[in-house]
Chains A and B, each alone.
Chain A
Amino acid sequence: MKLNKERFEWSSGYDGDTVDYEIEVSTTNDTEQTIELVKTSCLIVSKEGATIGGDFNNEEDIYMEPGEVAKFNVNSGYGIFHSATNGDPSSVEAHIDTTFFRREFFNLGELDVPSEDGQVTQLTSTKNVAGGDLQILGATISRDASEDADRNLNTSVGLRNLGSDVQQKIMVKSILIDRAGAQIDYSEYEEVIPPQSAAIITPSVYTKAGRLKGAKMKITVTLFQPVATSSVSLDFPTKS
């Protein structure tokens, strides 16, 4: 996936001694997958070849069906000393690396909410996803005791990465639904899981105890799987 420059501009920082760079690139989704996330990293390098700034592991929302085009921001950090550019902010290069992800969604199921404080309910099934690389070992919902009418419900989902690649982003979402089917609250939590290791992801929701009678918790898991990478180097930023 070729990256095209849409914008590479510099402006003086708020204190006058620094420079900020703004970068936007566009690309066409030439994969067979719908892309829903891009992670970017960027190094700003002086013409002498020294890294003078940048940013990494940034996430941007993106949506591209196969064949579609999209533009997105690349964070490059802020506050690079003007002197680091040898007085010429337009002389730097930006080295940009991107990884594009597709989304895979799994509904783990619905569990009854524990009827009493200090109790738990459990989902005992094990599910293998991501081509068998990721194992989801059930889930537990626990209900915290409290001195007042508010209650926390914690969902714990255990995941093992059995593969040889990092699972770069896994999101567990818990949605609390009352007995009439209306959503009360929701929460989500995301993690990176290195190869041959595990994680417990524990989103928690919060509501009044009175609303928990007959309530259920819906648990979903979303994986973001890399589908393409692309890099580009940009030079000659213009003044914005």
Chain B
Amino acid sequence: MAEGGGGRGETSDKAREEFFSEAQELVDGLGRDLLGLDEGVKAGRVDPELINDVFRGVHTLKGLSGLFGATRMAVLSHELEDVLDDLRLGRIDVTPAVLDLLFQAVTLYAQLLAAQSGEAPEPEREVEDLLLAIGQLSQRRSGGGAGVVAHYELDPGLLGVLTEYEEHRLRANIQQGLALYRIRARFSLTTIDSSLDEIKRQARPLGEIVTYLPTGSGADADTIDLEILMASRASLQTLQQAIVGPDLVIEDVARRVDPSVRPARASAAARVASAETAVVPAEAGATSAAPPPDNGSVRSFVEPPAGPKKDSLAATPGPPAAAGSLRGPGLTRELSLRSASQTVRVDIRKLDRLMTIVGELAIVKTAIARLTDRVRRRAADPRELSIELARLNRTFERHLAQMQSGILEVRMVPLGQAFDKLARIVRQISREHDKEVHLVVTGADTELDKLIVEELSDPLMHMIRNAIDHGIEPRDERLRVGKPPVGTIALNAFQKGNHVVIEVEDDGRGMDHGALVAAAVRRGMVSTDEAKELTQGEMLALVFMPGFTTKEVATDLSGRGVGLDVAKTNIGKLGGVVDITSDVGIGTKMTITLPITLAIIHVLLVEIGAHLFAVPLASVEEAIVLHEDQVRTVEARELLTVRGTSLPICRLARLFGLPPADRDRHGPFVVIARVGARRLGFVVDELVGQQDIVIKPLGKSLKGVRGFAGATELGDQRIALVIDVAALIEEVLMPGEVRFLAAADDSGRTSVALDARRRIGRA
């Protein structure tokens, strides 16, 4: 809290930064674990380890926030800890409603962190509401089905020493219809740790080890006998094949004869298993390699339990949790998924590599110093000197390049960081909307600049929101048109050259071009005449216009006409483009194409007239000589045929209104640029060379000038403007869309801007 950190020196600032980054990571981790839990709840099988993870995470947060005087956060953590302890011990059941509360807590944590860093006011009321709801929850504690344990032939002595947690796990497993097995194993005291770990590892995919206790009947002083109680859905044979070790015997725990208590969901395998008792001789088990697990009924339980790496998520329909007051945190303030922390965690090995390069550079420096000294003493032969200098320069360049790429690598983080948060949003929105949505994520390990990943979360959130609200149909409607009742949103990321492509695809009702145009006309965004001239692509692009909505009544979630336009603008700021395709009845796909990094870019310097421009090489495919006689004109657009495909070309001198230079040229050349699926050839007068540049923004006063991403100094006082390839391609190939966006940029001067853009578009 502000009063805690105020007035202290740099160390305190640094510590606070650490606090933010650590807290942020914990909160992110909580989100992931909760998603895992959510999935478990739906599958009817909750992984107790996940609850433990959440518990530990909240506990650590409590400590952290206490340390940094974040009182509200500490209080919240404390209350949550109690709830989680109840969950852990089975005093309350893990239900979607409880999960709602926990998810809200994650959202609140993010807001509290943002408040801590002074970016936003503290969500005071929301925290109060949540605390109230938590309070109500703890009053609903249940016994959690005590008594079922009694139906098993378990040693009362054993039951007496179980901890509350173990007892709860035992009960929970029996209730879920798992069979109980007893593993008796003899361990050598010297290797007990590793042997026990090995057994745990083998047992983990098959079920849960509830407890292990020494039996007290060890054969001699060097060995110890343990009795391991395990719950599993697998058959005894499967267990016996999977869990092997010397002096290890698995048997099932007999059930007392009382058919009425048999859980309804007991699997066939478990039933078979309990009917027979087999003991595998220890030696045989040790020598035979464990065969792969059976298929069939056992298969699904062999899969690793829900863990942090989630690739799917589905939400059960149902009323949102508890009272209306709980809706507060998600809705009363504009939700942002951006992290409060600006920190990047770096693998120490990456830093080591950088350090090595610094060492190499130091060697170069020494060599230069030596050379300087020789020059001063006039001891060097000029020829030898120039050779030496050239060599040093090469070495220096190489190390600098390594350093550069090393530092860029440090900035890279997996997109999964943003995707995890989105999965949470999908769950929240789909529950609020009473729609069933399954999120399928691929390519979460695709790496992007940390800055871009952060800036991407919000645009992606808007797109997903839009997909759930407008795309995915309600269950009944889906069934009526023969679609699976659960909608799917696919989030795919992959690298494509120097770009990263992210697709947000839904299998919803798609966009009706006619309805889009009608809505735009109704809202006065386009005139009826203009509407008639729109191409299919331009119609879809209408959704990116500010204030556009097809909804007559705005909902809490979308339909207020903000969102997609902001998403597109923000992606544009990152140098990316959004493409949209949609088929009525089949679904909508938005494709985002982004550069991998923003920091230093590699450019091709070109001359147009007497002016120098830089084209980012990331979007350049190749440059070829332009033969004027090969240019064809189709529909007032100039085309070139390059390797059998048509390439529209754009004469930059004409587009920029620059006079031709008077001196001789080798050119003209065509620089073939590609962003996403769109290609365009830029006609330039001369190719000057390649260079690494740091891009600088043009001042605010030139904000309205489209087509330039910024400018860069070339080291000799000259400045080259950096061409915004994505913007120019869009402008040239889709002038309609540009016209709309420009018109909407400045609502006060709509018609003026519109005309201006038309002129530019046709220039």
Binding between chains A and B? no
